[in-house]
Structure 1
Amino acid sequence: MALAARRALRSLAESGALFCQRLCGVKTAASPSGGTAAAGGSGSAPPRKTGIAHSRFTHGNVFVTITDFEGNARAQASAGMCGFKGSHRDSKFAANAVAEQAARGAAQLGMKAVEVRLKGGFGVGKRKYLLRGFKQGGLTVLKIRDVTAIPFNGCRPPKKRRV
């Protein structure tokens, strides 16, 4: 029984490695055949045309990091880096400028399209202006995904007030 379970796990690992190889264009350690993933057997793969844009809105700033699908950061920007000071960092115009600067940095590296993952930013129109900034920076938005953390039960409430 344990031998059958081991065989099943091994076949699952190999099929997962083949799936990862097809999806990302990268060979993994568990793949059955060795070699490099690049065409022609060269040592480095060509740059990927798509990536993930992680955008985070806080109460006083806007952050955008554009990564490849392995999680390596390719371009980043924040409202403070774009020259906004004080409460201006938390505005729609700042979100637009941040997305545009990050998109231009990624476009210089050969990126054409991004999946956008938004965290926070329930202000007035900030998300819309952020997406507009990616378009102005030369990137196409493929998907928009909200990854804002939602508490299941929240924090413990304060004690009842006794008068």
Structure 2
Amino acid sequence: MSDNILSIIPTDPDWQPTAEAADAAMAVLRRLAPQLDGFVTTEYRTTWHEKVAAVDCGANLERIECPACQNAIDVEWWVDLLEERFEAGFANLTATVPCCGGEVSLNDLRYDWPCGFARFELEVWNPNRDWLTAAELAQLAAALGCDVRQILAHI
């Protein structure tokens, strides 16, 4: 069986909230993506990663684009780079992109569907909804005390 995971992460990969802010944001997320009676069980998780972790969209990833030159970046190049930097906990997110030779942050690449990097993550496994609205993301950002991005993964 496959799963869908809605993740909320800070836009700053190194940022982590207080436990109180994380609890408040999870309460907001539970309200926005409530457990409904049905075939699939919705699970909620709060994770503080020891090191920066990649938060990707799984099978939803269709394209990666360079923010410097707007050209497509080969997904295999990206996957190889993630594997290379995984052990170091993505201590350095800067990379020389193959398209134009520019130095960019992996967090700033343009992912279709969104991906990111974080030391903190709120997850809803098998949410009974799709994307959160801008207003809903603003509620989560206010609860956490930082700007956030959402990632919708299919695994």
Q: TM-score range by the shorter chain?
A: under 0.3
Task: Look at both structures and tell me which one has the larger radius of gyration over its CA atoms.
Answer: 1
Determine which structure has the larger strand proportion and give its number: 2
Q: TM-score, normalised by structure 2?
A: 0.26
Structure number with higher relative contact order (C-alpha < 8 Å, ≥ 6 residues apart): 2
TM (norm. structure 1) is 0.25
